[in-house]
A and B are shown apart, each in its own frame.
Chain A
Amino acid sequence: MHLAARSNASRNSFTMKHVYLNWAKAAVVSAVFVLCFSSVSSGQAKRPLPKKAAPKVAAKPALKVTLVDEMALKKLLVPNGRPLLVNFWATWCDPCREEFPDLVKIDQEYKGRIDFITISLDDVENISTTVPKFLTAMKAQMPPYLLRADDENTFIASIAKDWQGGMPFTALYAPSGELKYYREGKVAIPMLHDQLNKLVAAAATTLPDSK
């Protein structure tokens, strides 16, 4: 979270000023270059840019985290022809953050062969702040959701009967919907690889025509 507190914008802004001072008298190309950076940097622009220009350009395609309730999540946990990997996590959960880079690698490695979604258990008020900020920093491409469960106890028991609610929690479903593997706490990556490879191989033989 501390990482996220520092804004890229301010760093870009510093870089921009530096570049601007050095290149101010240079060719038109340099000036344009500087101008481009200035528009990305922040609202503190000294240049006579249109006031609304900075926020518009700065508004990168923000990562959208989808809010779901128990019913909606249950539907998401039905595999769609491929093995489905699900990671329950939260920004406040240290081991969740620690293992996340490994999960991003898994996602990249198995892309197209499995579906992988992440479910944040953060407070709903963080859905457009710390949660997407962390996911963006991780370069996570797994579709992200945030669960607001009215009855956590029932929900937890419905996922795996001996899950006590500790996080992270990772679950792997076969295309049939059968829960094949789960882990409360950080996943053992070699173990997850084995499980994924088995399911991917099985899916390839049983569904040869699937695209």
Chain B
Amino acid sequence: MTQKIAALISFLAIFAFVASSAVTHAGGLEIGAMAENFTLPDTDGKTRTLDELKGKNGTVVVWLSAQCPVVKGYKDRINEIAAEYQAKGINFIGINSNSTEDLNWVKSNIGEYGYKFPVLIDKSNALADKWGATVTPEVFYFNAKNILIYHGAIDNDRSGKTVTEAYLKSAFDATLSGKPVTKTKANAFGCTIKRVAE
């Protein structure tokens, strides 16, 4: 009997711990951590992996949305940066984790915005949860060894009119010239990823 009660208490304690960590979105991928390989379908249903898509000098994983006006405001900058740095060996991978955006919408949006990199569908938002992605657009920049070296906003101005700090480009330029990245995290206002559970 005592054993049963003890087991029940332990179960409840574990349950409470799991529940609380789920609520607070604790964790996520920290700067300096290595990304594990992931497998997600692209918009044609083809299975893609990080290992297959990564660039020889690094990889940017960027959370996108078809409906978010902030992403719309960034689309040209995303395309420009992707074109410029893919030529330097840094590949881009788009992720859509919004449960409210269906495949056709995402596909037509990719065409409309002119992304030249694969966009993968994280339907259950498992990758967003694992890495701690919250908003769109939000970038995770990994070096060639899949170590996270920058996480957050692309730059410090949503409108693009008065960018004074181009966080992501600065991180690229630092790593490509063998220097340490000075600003490894920066937040900006964006659209909250619409998760399945919400």
Contacts and interface: CB of A to CB of B under 8 A. Distances in A.
Interface of A: 88, 90, 92-95, 121, 123, 151-153, 156-157, 162-168, 184-186
Contacts of A184: 134, 192
Q: Which 5 A-B pairs have the closest CB atoms?
A: A166-B192, A92-B69, A166-B135, A164-B134, A165-B187
Given A184-B134, A186-B198, A156 B69 contact: no
B120 interface: no
Contacts, number: 61
A88 B67 CA distance: 19
Most chain-B CB neighbours within 10 Å: which of A90, A152, A166, A185? A166
28 contacts: A88-B189, A92-B68, A92-B69, A94-B67, A94-B191, A95-B194, A121-B189, A152-B158, A153-B152, A153-B153, A153-B156, A156-B187, A156-B189, A163-B187, A164-B134, A164-B138, A164-B152, A164-B187, A165-B187, A165-B189, A166-B190, A166-B193, A167-B189, A167-B190, A167-B191, A184-B192, A185-B192, A186-B198
A82 to B, nearest CB: 27
Contacts of B189: 88, 90, 121, 152, 156, 165, 167
A4 to B, nearest CB: 15
Nearest to A149: B189
Interface in B62-76: 67-70
Interface of B: 25, 67-70, 134-135, 138, 152-153, 156, 158-159, 186-194, 198
A121 B190 CA distance: 10
Nearest to B26: A162
A157 B152 CA distance: 12
Contacts of B158: 152
Contacts of B25: 162
Contacts of B192: 93, 95, 166-168, 184-185
A164 B135 contact: yes
Nearest to B162: A150
Contacts of A151: 156
A153 B134 contact: no
A156 B67 contact: no
Nearest to A121: B189
A167 B190 CA distance: 6
Most chain-A CB neighbours within 10 Å: which of B156, B187, B188, B190? B187
B70 A92 contact: yes
Contacts of B188: 152-153, 156, 165
B194 A153 contact: no
Contacts of B156: 151-153
A166 B198 contact: no
Most chain-A CB neighbours within 10 Å: which of B68, B152, B191, B193? B191
A186 to B, nearest CB: 7
Contact of B187 (A121, A123, A152, A186): A152
A163 B159 CA distance: 21
B102 to A, nearest CB: 15
Contacts of B67: 94
A185 B187 contact: no
A157 B183 CA distance: 14
A185 B152 CA distance: 17
B191 to A, nearest CB: 6
